[in-house]
């Protein structure tokens, strides 16, 4: 059953949580433990949790002696190959005290466009969740090309939520909520709730590229949230530092109310990769 209000997140059956590169790499690598604490608490309540985690390229950069995110595809792929291994190790190390096992799931946009691949991905994730494994999903950066990339993992998270019929999606950011304009600008106000049919054209969500290690930002989160909400999935956008409060149903962040006319279903939910 879809979560209709953020207060219902604590009792959700299945939740997808997405965290970005800047929240878990570089000087913020220690925050993986904070995020895992929140996921483990939800897992202990019986919630099935899927984590969509960026950060493979950013995590691999120091091992390739790179100070900035590489721009050429081959070096991105090399950094991802190294970083994904380290990233999963860090997550599993943090999960170990809770006796939770992580399962790695790497996807490309092509996987979700192909009916057979999509069905296989759904079946594998359903089985992982049935075994009480915590799937950690990322784009398969080592084999993805510019032409078939998701573009950002906010969109990937929305598509995964649709794929498995999640009750809710939580997009973790660097700030507590979305604002009517970049929060550093005068007059910026936090947005508490967005109805499924609200017009957001008057808001200024800022640039897409937000730092030297990842892509994304407020605009991509708003777009991904609208995508999921249109499919009947409620979405909360808030800070990675508040993941435990978010999954406990606290009144924080920006809530995108789901379309009340649609019920998410893992059997019928459409998966859209186009713009």
Q: What are phi and psi of 262, to 5 degrees?
A: -120, 135
CA 96 to chain centre: 22
- Is residue 31 a known part of a binding site? no
Known binding residue 198? Answer is: no
> Could you tell me which of 4, 2, 23 has the C-alpha nearest to residue 14?
2
Ligand-binding site membership of 141 (annotated): yes
CA 255-151-254 angle, to 5 degrees, is 10
Give 137: exposed, middle or buried? Use CB within 10 Å, 0-12, 13-18, 19+: buried
Contact 59, 255 (CB under 8 A): no
The response to whether 153 counts as a known ligand-binding position is: yes
What DSSP string runs through 221-251? HHHHHHHHHHTT-EEEEEEGGGHHHHHTT-S
Separation between Cα atoms, residue 176 and residue 158, nearest integer Å: 19
Distance of alpha carbon 148 from alpha carbon 131, whole angstroms:
31
Give burial (CB, 10 Å; 0-12/13-18/19+) of 66.
Answer: middle
Q: How far apart are CA 253 and CA 168, in angstroms?
A: 14
3-class SS at 104?
A: strand
Residue 143: which residues within 8 A CB-CB, separation 6 or more?
Answer: 77, 108
What DSSP state is assigned to residue 77? Answer: H
Buried b (16+ CB within 10 A) or exposed e, 141-155: bbebeeeebbbbbbb
211 known member of a binding site = no
Positions at the binding site for ATP: 18, 173-174
Positions at the binding site for substrate: 54, 141, 153
Positions at the binding site: 18, 54, 141, 153, 173-174
């Amino acid at each position: 059953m879809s979560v209709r209000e953020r207060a219902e997140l604590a009792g959700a059956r299945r939740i997808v949580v997405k965290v970005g590169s800047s929240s878990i790499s570089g000087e913020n690598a220690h925050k993986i433990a904070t995020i895992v604490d929140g996921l483990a608490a939800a897992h202990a309540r019986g919630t099935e949790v899927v984590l969509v985690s960026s950060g493979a390229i950013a995590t691999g950069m120091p091992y390739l002696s790179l100070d900035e995110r590489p721009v050429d595809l081959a070096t991105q792929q090399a950094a991802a190959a190294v970083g994904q291994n380290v990233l999963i190790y860090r997550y599993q190390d943090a999960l170990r005290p809770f006796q939770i096992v992580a399962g790695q799931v790497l996807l490309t946009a092509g996987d979700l466009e192909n009916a057979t691949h999509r069905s296989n991905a759904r079946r594998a994730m359903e089985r992982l969740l049935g075994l009480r494994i915590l799937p950690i999903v990322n784009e398969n950066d080592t084999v993805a090309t510019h032409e078939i990339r998701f573009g950002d993992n906010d969109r990937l998270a929305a598509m995964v939520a649709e794929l498995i019929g999640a009750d809710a999606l939580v997009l973790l950011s660097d700030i507590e909520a979305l604002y009517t304009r970049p929060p550093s600008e005068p007059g910026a106000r936090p947005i508490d709730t967005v109805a499924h049919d609200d017009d957001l054209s008057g808001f200024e969500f800022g640039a897409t590229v937000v730092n030297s290690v990842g892509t994304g930002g407020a605009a991509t989160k708003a777009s991904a949230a609208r995508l999921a909400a249109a499919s009947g999935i409620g979405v909360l956008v808030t800070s990675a530092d508040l993941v435990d409060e978010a999954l406990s149903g606290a009144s924080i962040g920006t809530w995108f109310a789901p379309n009340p006319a649609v019920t998410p279903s893992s059997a019928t939910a459409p998966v859209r990769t186009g713009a």
